[in-house]
Amino acid sequence: MTSANFAVHADAIIPISGPENVLISHSIVVRQGLIAALMPHARARALSDIDHLELPGHVLMPGLVNARGHAGMTLLRGYTGDMSLTSWLNDKISPLEARWMSPEFVRDGTEIAAAEMLLSGITTTSDMYFFPDIAAQSLRAAGMRTQLVFPVMDTETAWAKSAEEYFEKGLALRDYFRSDELVDVGFGLGPHSTYTVDESLLSRTAMLANELDAPIQINLHATTAEVLAHVEATGERPIDSSARIGLLGPRTQCVHMTALGSQDIETVAAHGAHVVHCPRSNMRLASGACPVSKLRDAGINIALGTDGAASNNRLNGLAEMQSAALLAKLESGEPTALSASEAIRMATLDGARALGLDHVTGSLEAGKSADLIAIDMSGMYTAPHHQIESNVVYGGPGIGVTHSWIAGKNAVKNGQLQSLDSDALRHKAAGWRTKLSPSSRRISRQPPD
Protein backbone atom coordinates (compact mmCIF):
# COMPACT_ATOMS: atom_id res chain seq x y z
CA MET A 1 0.00 0.00 0.00
CA THR A 2 1.70 3.19 -1.20
CA SER A 3 -1.07 5.73 -0.73
CA ALA A 4 -0.99 8.02 2.29
CA ASN A 5 -4.77 7.73 2.42
CA PHE A 6 -6.31 4.30 2.88
CA ALA A 7 -8.85 2.20 4.75
CA VAL A 8 -8.38 -1.23 6.27
CA HIS A 9 -11.40 -3.48 6.52
CA ALA A 10 -11.09 -6.31 9.07
CA ASP A 11 -13.51 -8.46 11.05
CA ALA A 12 -12.94 -6.56 14.28
CA ILE A 13 -11.08 -3.64 15.84
CA ILE A 14 -9.77 -3.37 19.40
CA PRO A 15 -9.54 0.43 19.75
CA ILE A 16 -8.47 0.55 23.47
CA SER A 17 -10.21 3.93 23.82
CA GLY A 18 -13.95 4.48 23.61
CA PRO A 19 -17.01 2.83 25.14
CA GLU A 20 -16.64 -0.55 23.42
CA ASN A 21 -13.75 -2.97 23.87
CA VAL A 22 -14.27 -4.51 20.43
CA LEU A 23 -15.86 -3.06 17.31
CA ILE A 24 -17.28 -5.66 14.92
CA SER A 25 -17.52 -5.09 11.15
CA HIS A 26 -15.70 -1.78 11.37
CA SER A 27 -12.91 -0.24 9.32
CA ILE A 28 -10.14 2.21 10.12
CA VAL A 29 -9.53 5.17 7.82
CA VAL A 30 -6.06 6.71 7.62
CA ARG A 31 -5.18 10.02 6.04
CA GLN A 32 -1.66 11.46 5.84
CA GLY A 33 -0.31 9.18 8.54
CA LEU A 34 -3.06 9.92 11.06
CA ILE A 35 -6.17 8.02 12.03
CA ALA A 36 -9.09 9.87 10.46
CA ALA A 37 -11.96 7.71 11.66
CA LEU A 38 -13.26 4.32 12.73
CA MET A 39 -16.53 3.55 10.99
CA PRO A 40 -18.77 0.68 9.85
CA HIS A 41 -17.65 -1.25 6.79
CA ALA A 42 -20.37 0.08 4.51
CA ARG A 43 -19.49 3.71 5.12
CA ALA A 44 -15.75 3.14 4.81
CA ARG A 45 -16.03 1.12 1.61
CA ALA A 46 -18.08 3.93 0.08
CA LEU A 47 -15.12 6.32 0.31
CA SER A 48 -13.79 6.78 -3.22
CA ASP A 49 -10.75 8.99 -2.68
CA ILE A 50 -8.63 6.45 -0.81
CA ASP A 51 -7.14 2.98 -1.29
CA HIS A 52 -8.81 -0.03 0.33
CA LEU A 53 -7.32 -3.14 1.93
CA GLU A 54 -9.54 -6.11 2.75
CA LEU A 55 -8.33 -8.29 5.62
CA PRO A 56 -10.99 -10.90 6.35
CA GLY A 57 -10.29 -13.06 9.39
CA HIS A 58 -8.14 -10.33 10.96
CA VAL A 59 -8.40 -8.11 14.01
CA LEU A 60 -6.90 -4.61 14.07
CA MET A 61 -5.41 -3.10 17.21
CA PRO A 62 -2.84 -0.49 18.22
CA GLY A 63 0.78 -1.38 17.68
CA LEU A 64 2.37 -2.79 20.82
CA VAL A 65 4.71 -0.74 22.99
CA ASN A 66 7.93 -2.33 24.28
CA ALA A 67 8.84 -0.11 27.23
CA ARG A 68 12.18 -1.77 27.98
CA GLY A 69 14.74 -3.16 25.59
CA HIS A 70 18.43 -3.54 24.89
CA ALA A 71 18.30 -4.12 21.14
CA GLY A 72 22.05 -4.39 20.64
CA MET A 73 22.18 -7.32 23.06
CA THR A 74 20.27 -9.46 20.59
CA LEU A 75 23.59 -10.85 19.38
CA LEU A 76 23.92 -12.52 22.80
CA ARG A 77 20.61 -14.36 22.51
CA GLY A 78 20.98 -17.90 23.84
CA TYR A 79 24.67 -17.46 24.64
CA THR A 80 24.18 -18.16 28.34
CA GLY A 81 22.55 -21.10 30.03
CA ASP A 82 20.10 -21.05 32.91
CA MET A 83 21.57 -19.02 35.75
CA SER A 84 20.85 -16.32 38.29
CA LEU A 85 20.80 -12.63 37.44
CA THR A 86 24.11 -12.02 39.24
CA SER A 87 25.95 -14.85 37.52
CA TRP A 88 24.36 -14.05 34.16
CA LEU A 89 25.40 -10.38 34.34
CA ASN A 90 28.80 -10.56 36.04
CA ASP A 91 30.18 -13.86 34.76
CA LYS A 92 28.85 -13.95 31.20
CA ILE A 93 27.34 -10.79 29.78
CA SER A 94 29.66 -8.06 31.09
CA PRO A 95 32.88 -9.81 29.97
CA LEU A 96 31.42 -10.37 26.50
CA GLU A 97 30.36 -6.75 26.22
CA ALA A 98 33.78 -5.56 27.35
CA ARG A 99 35.41 -7.56 24.58
CA TRP A 100 33.01 -7.10 21.68
CA MET A 101 31.14 -3.84 22.19
CA SER A 102 31.37 -1.62 19.10
CA PRO A 103 29.16 0.40 16.75
CA GLU A 104 28.98 -2.63 14.44
CA PHE A 105 27.85 -4.88 17.30
CA VAL A 106 25.05 -2.48 18.24
CA ARG A 107 23.98 -1.84 14.65
CA ASP A 108 23.67 -5.51 13.72
CA GLY A 109 22.02 -6.50 16.99
CA THR A 110 19.56 -3.63 16.77
CA GLU A 111 18.56 -4.47 13.20
CA ILE A 112 17.86 -8.08 14.14
CA ALA A 113 15.90 -6.90 17.19
CA ALA A 114 13.85 -4.47 15.10
CA ALA A 115 12.92 -7.23 12.68
CA GLU A 116 11.70 -9.52 15.47
CA MET A 117 9.81 -6.76 17.24
CA LEU A 118 8.01 -5.62 14.10
CA LEU A 119 7.00 -9.16 13.17
CA SER A 120 5.48 -9.66 16.64
CA GLY A 121 3.44 -6.46 16.62
CA ILE A 122 5.75 -3.99 18.38
CA THR A 123 5.67 -0.59 16.69
CA THR A 124 7.13 1.52 19.53
CA THR A 125 10.16 0.61 21.59
CA SER A 126 12.28 2.07 24.36
CA ASP A 127 15.95 1.18 24.14
CA MET A 128 18.75 1.59 26.65
CA TYR A 129 22.20 0.42 25.58
CA PHE A 130 25.63 1.57 24.53
CA PHE A 131 26.08 3.55 21.30
CA PRO A 132 22.51 4.88 21.42
CA ASP A 133 23.29 6.97 18.35
CA ILE A 134 23.74 3.79 16.32
CA ALA A 135 20.61 2.25 17.82
CA ALA A 136 18.59 5.36 17.02
CA GLN A 137 19.72 5.34 13.40
CA SER A 138 18.96 1.63 13.01
CA LEU A 139 15.53 1.79 14.63
CA ARG A 140 14.58 4.87 12.65
CA ALA A 141 15.68 3.19 9.41
CA ALA A 142 13.46 0.24 10.32
CA GLY A 143 10.59 2.70 10.70
CA MET A 144 10.03 2.14 14.42
CA ARG A 145 8.85 4.76 16.87
CA THR A 146 11.50 4.97 19.58
CA GLN A 147 12.37 6.34 22.98
CA LEU A 148 16.14 6.20 23.42
CA VAL A 149 17.62 6.12 26.92
CA PHE A 150 21.34 6.75 27.13
CA PRO A 151 23.33 4.89 29.79
CA VAL A 152 24.59 6.78 32.81
CA MET A 153 27.64 5.18 34.45
CA ASP A 154 30.92 6.08 36.08
CA THR A 155 32.88 3.20 34.58
CA GLU A 156 34.73 3.16 31.27
CA THR A 157 33.12 1.36 28.34
CA ALA A 158 33.58 1.36 24.59
CA TRP A 159 31.09 4.23 24.32
CA ALA A 160 32.34 6.58 27.04
CA LYS A 161 35.19 6.79 29.53
CA SER A 162 33.62 8.76 32.37
CA ALA A 163 30.31 9.97 33.74
CA GLU A 164 31.01 13.36 32.20
CA GLU A 165 31.40 11.83 28.76
CA TYR A 166 28.20 9.78 29.15
CA PHE A 167 26.27 12.96 29.88
CA GLU A 168 28.01 14.94 27.15
CA LYS A 169 27.36 12.37 24.44
CA GLY A 170 23.84 11.59 25.59
CA LEU A 171 22.74 15.20 25.71
CA ALA A 172 24.29 15.92 22.31
CA LEU A 173 22.24 13.10 20.83
CA ARG A 174 19.14 14.34 22.61
CA ASP A 175 19.54 17.69 20.90
CA TYR A 176 20.24 16.06 17.53
CA PHE A 177 17.03 14.01 17.56
CA ARG A 178 14.88 16.67 19.19
CA SER A 179 12.60 17.21 16.20
CA ASP A 180 12.79 13.75 14.67
CA GLU A 181 9.43 12.31 13.57
CA LEU A 182 9.99 8.86 15.09
CA VAL A 183 12.65 9.39 17.76
CA ASP A 184 10.23 11.93 19.11
CA VAL A 185 10.39 11.58 22.89
CA GLY A 186 13.94 12.83 23.04
CA PHE A 187 16.58 10.91 24.90
CA GLY A 188 16.00 9.74 28.43
CA LEU A 189 18.60 9.13 31.13
CA GLY A 190 19.35 5.53 32.03
CA PRO A 191 21.30 4.90 35.24
CA HIS A 192 21.53 1.13 35.42
CA SER A 193 20.58 0.64 39.07
CA THR A 194 21.22 1.75 42.63
CA TYR A 195 23.77 -1.04 43.03
CA THR A 196 25.93 -0.16 40.01
CA VAL A 197 25.71 3.65 40.12
CA ASP A 198 26.74 5.55 43.23
CA GLU A 199 24.40 7.97 44.95
CA SER A 200 26.23 11.13 43.89
CA LEU A 201 25.83 10.23 40.22
CA LEU A 202 22.23 9.21 40.75
CA SER A 203 21.56 12.59 42.39
CA ARG A 204 23.15 14.38 39.47
CA THR A 205 21.03 12.33 37.07
CA ALA A 206 17.89 13.27 38.96
CA MET A 207 18.76 16.98 38.89
CA LEU A 208 19.51 16.94 35.17
CA ALA A 209 16.35 15.02 34.32
CA ASN A 210 14.33 17.54 36.32
CA GLU A 211 15.95 20.48 34.52
CA LEU A 212 15.31 18.93 31.10
CA ASP A 213 11.93 17.38 31.94
CA ALA A 214 13.47 14.16 30.63
CA PRO A 215 12.47 10.59 31.45
CA ILE A 216 14.56 8.38 33.72
CA GLN A 217 14.63 4.62 33.29
CA ILE A 218 16.27 2.53 36.01
CA ASN A 219 16.34 -1.08 37.24
CA LEU A 220 14.79 -1.13 40.72
CA HIS A 221 13.95 -3.91 43.15
CA ALA A 222 14.77 -6.52 40.52
CA THR A 223 15.56 -9.22 43.11
CA THR A 224 15.19 -9.74 46.84
CA ALA A 225 18.97 -10.06 47.13
CA GLU A 226 19.43 -6.61 45.58
CA VAL A 227 17.05 -5.03 48.08
CA LEU A 228 18.59 -6.75 51.10
CA ALA A 229 22.13 -5.80 50.05
CA HIS A 230 21.10 -2.16 49.66
CA VAL A 231 19.44 -2.12 53.07
CA GLU A 232 22.54 -3.64 54.65
CA ALA A 233 24.81 -1.09 52.97
CA THR A 234 22.70 2.05 53.43
CA GLY A 235 19.94 1.34 55.92
CA GLU A 236 17.37 2.16 53.20
CA ARG A 237 15.46 0.23 50.61
CA PRO A 238 16.42 1.17 47.03
CA ILE A 239 13.05 2.80 46.34
CA ASP A 240 13.40 4.98 49.45
CA SER A 241 16.89 6.09 48.45
CA SER A 242 15.60 6.91 44.98
CA ALA A 243 12.75 8.97 46.41
CA ARG A 244 15.03 10.83 48.82
CA ILE A 245 17.43 12.00 46.10
CA GLY A 246 14.66 13.03 43.71
CA LEU A 247 14.96 10.14 41.28
CA LEU A 248 11.26 9.22 41.45
CA GLY A 249 8.62 11.24 39.63
CA PRO A 250 5.96 11.17 36.92
CA ARG A 251 8.57 10.61 34.21
CA THR A 252 10.42 7.82 36.02
CA GLN A 253 10.19 4.32 34.60
CA CYS A 254 11.00 1.73 37.30
CA VAL A 255 12.00 -1.50 35.60
CA HIS A 256 11.34 -5.02 37.01
CA MET A 257 10.05 -4.20 40.52
CA THR A 258 9.64 -7.80 41.64
CA ALA A 259 10.68 -7.48 45.31
CA LEU A 260 8.12 -5.05 46.69
CA GLY A 261 6.39 -4.57 50.01
CA SER A 262 3.28 -2.51 50.70
CA GLN A 263 5.32 0.56 51.69
CA ASP A 264 7.38 0.35 48.48
CA ILE A 265 4.19 0.36 46.44
CA GLU A 266 2.87 3.34 48.39
CA THR A 267 6.10 5.23 47.66
CA VAL A 268 5.88 4.58 43.92
CA ALA A 269 2.24 5.65 43.87
CA ALA A 270 2.90 8.81 45.88
CA HIS A 271 5.52 9.96 43.35
CA GLY A 272 3.49 9.06 40.26
CA ALA A 273 6.23 6.86 38.82
CA HIS A 274 5.59 4.13 36.26
CA VAL A 275 6.53 0.46 36.48
CA VAL A 276 7.88 -1.48 33.50
CA HIS A 277 7.08 -5.15 33.90
CA CYS A 278 9.36 -7.68 32.11
CA PRO A 279 7.69 -11.00 32.89
CA ARG A 280 9.59 -13.41 30.63
CA SER A 281 13.03 -12.06 31.52
CA ASN A 282 12.21 -12.15 35.22
CA MET A 283 10.92 -15.70 34.97
CA ARG A 284 13.93 -16.96 33.06
CA LEU A 285 16.36 -15.45 35.58
CA ALA A 286 14.13 -16.47 38.52
CA SER A 287 14.26 -12.86 39.68
CA GLY A 288 10.72 -12.90 41.01
CA ALA A 289 7.26 -11.81 39.91
CA CYS A 290 6.12 -8.22 39.76
CA PRO A 291 2.97 -7.84 41.94
CA VAL A 292 0.90 -6.43 39.11
CA SER A 293 -2.48 -6.62 40.87
CA LYS A 294 -1.24 -4.75 43.94
CA LEU A 295 0.40 -2.07 41.80
CA ARG A 296 -2.75 -1.62 39.74
CA ASP A 297 -4.88 -1.43 42.88
CA ALA A 298 -2.62 1.41 44.05
CA GLY A 299 -3.27 3.31 40.82
CA ILE A 300 0.22 2.80 39.41
CA ASN A 301 0.60 2.70 35.63
CA ILE A 302 2.29 -0.47 34.39
CA ALA A 303 3.92 -0.94 31.00
CA LEU A 304 5.34 -4.09 29.43
CA GLY A 305 8.93 -4.62 28.35
CA THR A 306 10.80 -7.50 26.80
CA ASP A 307 14.18 -6.57 28.33
CA GLY A 308 17.03 -7.83 26.14
CA ALA A 309 17.12 -11.04 24.11
CA ALA A 310 20.11 -12.14 26.18
CA SER A 311 17.85 -12.63 29.21
CA ASN A 312 14.55 -13.31 27.47
CA ASN A 313 15.49 -14.99 24.18
CA ARG A 314 12.40 -13.46 22.57
CA LEU A 315 11.53 -9.86 21.73
CA ASN A 316 7.97 -10.84 21.00
CA GLY A 317 5.29 -8.36 22.01
CA LEU A 318 2.41 -10.84 21.80
CA ALA A 319 4.28 -13.45 23.85
CA GLU A 320 5.15 -10.87 26.50
CA MET A 321 1.50 -9.83 26.78
CA GLN A 322 0.42 -13.44 27.20
CA SER A 323 3.09 -14.11 29.84
CA ALA A 324 2.09 -11.01 31.80
CA ALA A 325 -1.55 -12.06 31.94
CA LEU A 326 -0.77 -15.60 33.04
CA LEU A 327 1.91 -14.63 35.56
CA ALA A 328 -0.38 -12.06 37.20
CA LYS A 329 -2.88 -14.82 37.95
CA LEU A 330 -0.22 -17.13 39.32
CA GLU A 331 1.46 -14.46 41.45
CA SER A 332 -1.79 -13.19 42.96
CA GLY A 333 -3.65 -16.50 43.16
CA GLU A 334 -6.60 -14.80 41.48
CA PRO A 335 -7.86 -16.01 38.08
CA THR A 336 -9.46 -12.60 37.52
CA ALA A 337 -6.13 -10.77 37.84
CA LEU A 338 -5.12 -8.89 34.68
CA SER A 339 -7.88 -9.80 32.27
CA ALA A 340 -7.26 -10.15 28.56
CA SER A 341 -8.60 -6.63 28.02
CA GLU A 342 -6.32 -5.22 30.72
CA ALA A 343 -3.29 -7.06 29.33
CA ILE A 344 -3.89 -5.59 25.88
CA ARG A 345 -4.17 -2.11 27.35
CA MET A 346 -0.94 -2.65 29.33
CA ALA A 347 0.83 -3.60 26.10
CA THR A 348 -0.48 -0.56 24.22
CA LEU A 349 -1.88 2.59 25.81
CA ASP A 350 -0.35 2.06 29.28
CA GLY A 351 3.04 1.52 27.66
CA ALA A 352 2.64 4.68 25.62
CA ARG A 353 1.68 6.56 28.77
CA ALA A 354 4.83 5.37 30.57
CA LEU A 355 6.93 6.72 27.69
CA GLY A 356 5.03 10.01 27.54
CA LEU A 357 3.60 9.08 24.14
CA ASP A 358 -0.05 8.43 24.92
CA HIS A 359 -1.05 11.58 23.01
CA VAL A 360 0.57 10.10 19.89
CA THR A 361 0.07 6.34 19.97
CA GLY A 362 -1.28 3.44 22.04
CA SER A 363 -4.94 3.58 20.97
CA LEU A 364 -6.92 3.78 17.76
CA GLU A 365 -8.75 7.07 17.79
CA ALA A 366 -9.09 9.98 15.42
CA GLY A 367 -6.15 12.36 15.44
CA LYS A 368 -3.55 9.89 16.69
CA SER A 369 -0.73 8.48 14.61
CA ALA A 370 -1.72 5.51 12.50
CA ASP A 371 0.37 2.99 14.47
CA LEU A 372 -1.60 -0.22 14.12
CA ILE A 373 -1.25 -3.93 13.50
CA ALA A 374 -3.38 -6.59 11.85
CA ILE A 375 -3.42 -10.07 13.39
CA ASP A 376 -4.67 -13.08 11.46
CA MET A 377 -7.20 -14.81 13.70
CA SER A 378 -8.30 -17.46 11.19
CA GLY A 379 -5.95 -20.18 12.49
CA MET A 380 -7.06 -23.31 14.29
CA TYR A 381 -5.61 -22.02 17.56
CA THR A 382 -8.46 -19.48 17.77
CA ALA A 383 -11.33 -21.70 16.57
CA PRO A 384 -14.25 -21.44 17.23
CA HIS A 385 -13.43 -17.83 18.03
CA HIS A 386 -15.82 -17.10 20.90
CA GLN A 387 -13.99 -14.14 22.45
CA ILE A 388 -11.66 -11.92 20.44
CA GLU A 389 -9.60 -10.37 23.24
CA SER A 390 -9.13 -13.75 24.91
CA ASN A 391 -7.91 -15.25 21.65
CA VAL A 392 -5.49 -12.38 21.06
CA VAL A 393 -3.92 -12.78 24.50
CA TYR A 394 -4.14 -16.49 25.25
CA GLY A 395 -4.80 -18.24 21.96
CA GLY A 396 -1.97 -17.20 19.73
CA PRO A 397 1.59 -18.58 19.71
CA GLY A 398 3.08 -15.09 19.36
CA ILE A 399 2.79 -15.02 15.59
CA GLY A 400 0.08 -13.94 13.23
CA VAL A 401 0.92 -10.28 12.61
CA THR A 402 0.47 -9.94 8.87
CA HIS A 403 0.54 -6.15 8.60
CA SER A 404 1.73 -3.21 10.64
CA TRP A 405 1.81 0.50 10.02
CA ILE A 406 3.75 3.19 11.83
CA ALA A 407 2.65 6.75 11.13
CA GLY A 408 0.64 5.27 8.27
CA LYS A 409 3.62 3.62 6.58
CA ASN A 410 3.79 -0.13 6.09
CA ALA A 411 6.45 -1.74 8.29
CA VAL A 412 5.13 -5.27 7.71
CA LYS A 413 3.06 -6.23 4.67
CA ASN A 414 1.68 -9.73 4.10
CA GLY A 415 4.01 -10.98 6.80
CA GLN A 416 7.10 -9.49 5.13
CA LEU A 417 9.34 -6.74 6.50
CA GLN A 418 9.34 -3.64 4.33
CA SER A 419 12.50 -1.85 5.50
CA LEU A 420 14.74 -4.75 6.54
CA ASP A 421 16.25 -7.66 4.60
CA SER A 422 15.60 -10.87 6.52
CA ASP A 423 18.17 -12.91 4.59
CA ALA A 424 20.87 -10.31 5.16
CA LEU A 425 20.08 -10.26 8.87
CA ARG A 426 20.40 -14.04 9.05
CA HIS A 427 23.85 -13.80 7.47
CA LYS A 428 24.88 -11.16 10.00
CA ALA A 429 23.64 -13.30 12.87
CA ALA A 430 25.57 -16.32 11.60
CA GLY A 431 28.72 -14.23 11.34
CA TRP A 432 28.41 -13.02 14.91
CA ARG A 433 27.75 -16.56 16.15
CA THR A 434 31.13 -17.55 14.73
CA LYS A 435 32.86 -14.52 16.25
CA LEU A 436 31.34 -14.92 19.69
CA SER A 437 31.52 -18.73 19.88
CA PRO A 438 34.26 -19.88 17.48
CA SER A 439 34.49 -23.27 19.21
CA SER A 440 30.75 -23.88 19.24
CA ARG A 441 29.74 -27.25 17.82
CA ARG A 442 26.04 -26.63 17.88
CA ILE A 443 24.39 -27.69 14.67
CA SER A 444 22.43 -24.98 12.94
CA ARG A 445 21.31 -24.24 9.44
CA GLN A 446 23.48 -21.73 7.63
CA PRO A 447 21.60 -19.21 5.51
CA PRO A 448 22.00 -19.74 1.75
CA ASP A 449 24.60 -17.75 -0.12
How many CB atoms neighbour CB 402 within 10 A? 18
Residue 61 burial by Cβ neighbours in a 10 Å radius (0-12, 13-18, 19+): buried
Alpha helix (H) ranges present in 355-443? 388-390, 422-436
- For the entire predicted model, the pTM comes to 0.94
Beta bridge partners of 12: 24, 59
Q: Which neighbouring-strand residues pair with 39?
A: 27
5-62+369-417 against 64-354: fold identical = no
Name the nearest CA neighbour of 121 among 14, 247, 30.
14
- Let me know if domain 5-62+369-417 sits in CATH 3.20.20.70: no
Superfamily of domain 64-354: Metal-dependent hydrolases (3.20.20.140)
Q: What is the pLDDT along the chain (449 residues), one digit of tens a residue?
A: 456 899 999 999 999 998 899 999 999 999 999 999 999 999 999 999 999 999 999 999 999 999 999 999 999 998 877 877 778 777 878 888 888 899 999 999 999 999 999 999 999 999 999 999 999 999 999 999 999 999 999 889 999 999 999 999 999 998 888 888 888 655 799 999 999 999 999 999 999 999 999 999 999 999 999 999 999 999 999 999 999 999 999 999 999 999 999 999 999 999 999 999 999 999 999 999 999 999 999 999 999 999 999 889 999 999 999 999 999 999 999 999 999 999 999 999 999 999 999 999 999 999 999 999 999 999 888 888 889 999 999 987 778 999 999 999 999 999 999 999 999 999 999 999 998 875 543 444 444 33
In the chain, domain spans = 5-62+369-417, 64-354
